[in-house]
Chain A
Amino acid sequence: MARLTIESLRKFFASTVAVDDFSLDVADGELVCLLGPSGSGKSTILRMIGGFEQPTSGAIRIDGQDVGRLSPDRRPTGMVFQSHALWSHMNVFNNIAFGLKLRHLPRAEIRRKVEAALELVGLGGYGHRQTFQLSGGQQQRVALARSLVLEPKILLLDEPFASLDQHLRERLREEVRDIQQRLGITTLFVTHGQDEALALADRIVVLRNGQCEQADAPDVIYRNPQTQFVAGFIGQMNFIAANVEGGTFRHPEMSVAIGAQDGPAVLAVRPEALGLVAAEGGAGVTVVRSTDFGSHIMVDVELSDGTRLKAMTSPAMRWERGTRARLVPSAYALYRDNKLVVSGTVGASTAAPAFGAAPLVV
């Protein structure tokens, strides 16, 4: 049962800044996802917590104790690597038992703990197998058991499912979530897949260029992105660039009354918050493609300035290529210099921050 505190962590490699002033507080039993594109510093943060990298400055505390200068073997953390990193010269049992043997536990106790750990990850009775006889998913479970058997205070997962296929990945992440909740273990999970983060996390930290863009619960991240980067990185998002003049965002095909200062800005609208209405005559935007996903239809439209937008519509209505349509946004957010200026719903007052929550307009 542990609490992880990270204070203004910095990491410089020779000439580049990998992590810049990163702070985070992870509560006991919480599962936090570090999400970001490659090179955003998420793995570096994890490796600094595990002790595999030296922070340039800043503090890492576990239950208030500063572990920043301890070597990995002295830290109460357990890491699961992307490449599973199982020791191929030992069988499954010995892989899991290695850490326990280092702690000089009695033989019977080691056996009991290893078997319990294998049971926990659903591999009971696999102890005598060689690691290379296992499938990718099983190998990753053994790696998880190897970390869990030592009952670490903090569990660190470094893109553990990246090398597995989609189907297996989805199953494993549910299992990991189950195990994590059952054990109540404080967990930090690094991924570049937003699905994984949305499905797993109590809280998501979106990183860019070594800095935290936003740290919030998954629904808040999705519905109320605080920066344009987060808005674009999580889920699908339409961006339209134009000027705000006299309290109105003015674009030839879409004008929205907005409480913002004049000047260039970017309007963000989720596909599910962008409705289409058939336009009379030659006005409006042009439908370029319509893709049927069964539950909904995704319609791609092109604006007169070449911008392409996606609109999610009900299967009840067919949109042929070349059809003219008018855009009816129901919820939006406005960004300027990557920062959120204002968000709101059309028709209602701007007070409601819920974003994309409005009913679909057909």
Chain B
Amino acid sequence: MADTAIPSAIGGSEPAIGRGLKGLLLVAIPVFLVGWLIIYPIIAAILSTLFVDGPQGVHFSTASYQFFFSDPYSRANLALTLWTTGLCAVLLLLVGLPIALYLRFSTSRFADLVQSLAIFPMFVPSIILSYALIRTIGPNGTLDILLNAIGLPKIPSPYLTPWGPVIGLVWDNLPLTVLMLTAGLGSISNSAVEAARDVGAGPIRVFWHIILPRMGNSILVTISFTVLGIFSSFTLPYVLGPASPEMMGPFMLRTFNDLYDPLNAKTQAVISFVFCLFFGLFYVWSIARNQRSQTR
């Protein structure tokens, strides 16, 4: 740590134990909230779906999970969610990576403009976006009006089909994808690229041999973050997506609020956790590692 040269904090006159206690007290409430409202509910959800209240007391049961995986409707919802999440992640990388590359290496003034535009959706709430997309690509929307005006047939509207949420989610998640990828590209020095150009590598070789190997990690972090966000997204699939099958977000809400069935809603939540477990773990691991290398 950089601290070794100046090891004491301000207030060096207090005993070390007192300071440690003070620090713990200051962080107590937020840490308690994390424990009470994140860690505990997750553990409670897992335990309460596995140990169910029966006529002869609490007993172990996987009935709710068996129901989920035997129910064709639940399975269709899960499949739709996986399909949407995977497709969005691929599309976001395909769109985000070229923009991030351009932003990293361009010196022209368009770069500022492109950055502003790419980040702009961050300031458009998803609820407004949903409404705007309905009016634009919905039936008889602006796109249809424009196509009609130049004498072309209407498009098959993605509104209320699985493609509706895909378009909305890509739009909504583009800013963070671009920001995170640009941050990852920032660690590649100009001189590394210039040295490769100097020995005769073309742009594609530079990308393949110099840039891609070094940003593998940030691509994975970006994917993890998008997957975690999209897997259980709610607003866009609820408004733009089909009523049946539906994505896990709306499905859980309906099970909890409309069917008053917390047990199955919790089961669906736990299944979401399991499917996202790898991405969550990778996200935490990679950030913890970053954090450590920054502080040491």
**Do chains A and B make direct contact within the complex (CB under 8 angstroms)?**
yes
> Using a CB–CB distance below 8 Å, which chain A residues touch chain B?
13, 47, 51-54, 69-72
- The distance from the CB of B26 to the nearest CB of chain A, in whole angstroms, is 19
- The distance from the CB of A319 to the nearest CB of chain B, in whole angstroms, is 45
B11 closest partner in A (C-beta): A71
Determine chain A's interface SS by DSSP, over half rule: loop
Contacts of A54 in B (CB 8 A): 8, 12-13
CA distance A54 to B7 in the complex (A): 10
Let me know if B4 and A71 touch, CB within 8 A. Answer: no
Contacts of B6 in A (CB 8 A): 47, 52
Question: Which interface residue of A47, A52, A72 has the most chain B CB atoms within 10 A?
Answer: A52
- The distance from the CB of B77 to the nearest CB of chain A, in whole angstroms, is 54
Determine chain B's interface SS by DSSP, over half rule: loop
CA distance A54 to B11 in the complex (A): 10
> Using a CB–CB distance below 8 Å, which chain B residues touch chain A?
4, 6-8, 10-13
A50 closest partner in B (C-beta): B12
- The distance from the CB of A293 to the nearest CB of chain B, in whole angstroms, is 37
Question: Which interface residue of B7, B10, B13 has the most chain A CB atoms within 10 A?
Answer: B13
CA distance A72 to B4 in the complex (A): 20
Contacts of B11 in A (CB 8 A): 71
Let me know if B13 and A71 touch, CB within 8 A. Answer: yes
Let me know if A53 and B12 touch, CB within 8 A. Answer: yes
Contacts of A70 in B (CB 8 A): 13
CA distance A13 to B4 in the complex (A): 9
List 23 A-B residue pairs with CB atoms under 8 Å apart, sorted by A's residue number. A13-B4, A13-B7, A47-B6, A51-B12, A51-B13, A52-B6, A52-B8, A52-B10, A52-B12, A53-B7, A53-B8, A53-B12, A54-B8, A54-B12, A54-B13, A69-B13, A70-B13, A71-B11, A71-B12, A71-B13, A72-B10, A72-B12, A72-B13
CA distance A71 to B18 in the complex (A): 15
CA distance A344 to B235 in the complex (A): 92
Contacts of B7 in A (CB 8 A): 13, 53
8 tightest A-B contacts by CB?
A71-B13, A54-B12, A13-B7, A52-B12, A53-B8, A53-B12, A69-B13, A51-B13
- The distance from the CB of B6 to the nearest CB of chain A, in whole angstroms, is 8
Question: Which interface residue of B7, B10, B11, B12 has the most chain A CB atoms within 10 A?
Answer: B12
Contacts of A72 in B (CB 8 A): 10, 12-13
Contacts of A47 in B (CB 8 A): 6
B8 closest partner in A (C-beta): A53
Contacts of B12 in A (CB 8 A): 51-54, 71-72
CA distance A13 to B3 in the complex (A): 11
CA distance A70 to B13 in the complex (A): 7
CA distance A212 to B294 in the complex (A): 37
Given A52-B12, A53-B8, 5 additional A-B pairs, CB 8 A: A52-B6, A53-B7, A71-B11, A71-B13, A72-B10
CA distance A69 to B12 in the complex (A): 9
- The distance from the CB of B18 to the nearest CB of chain A, in whole angstroms, is 13
Contacts of A51 in B (CB 8 A): 12-13
B16 closest partner in A (C-beta): A54
- The distance from the CB of A81 to the nearest CB of chain B, in whole angstroms, is 11
Contacts of A69 in B (CB 8 A): 13
CA distance A47 to B12 in the complex (A): 10
A39 closest partner in B (C-beta): B5
Contacts of B10 in A (CB 8 A): 52, 72
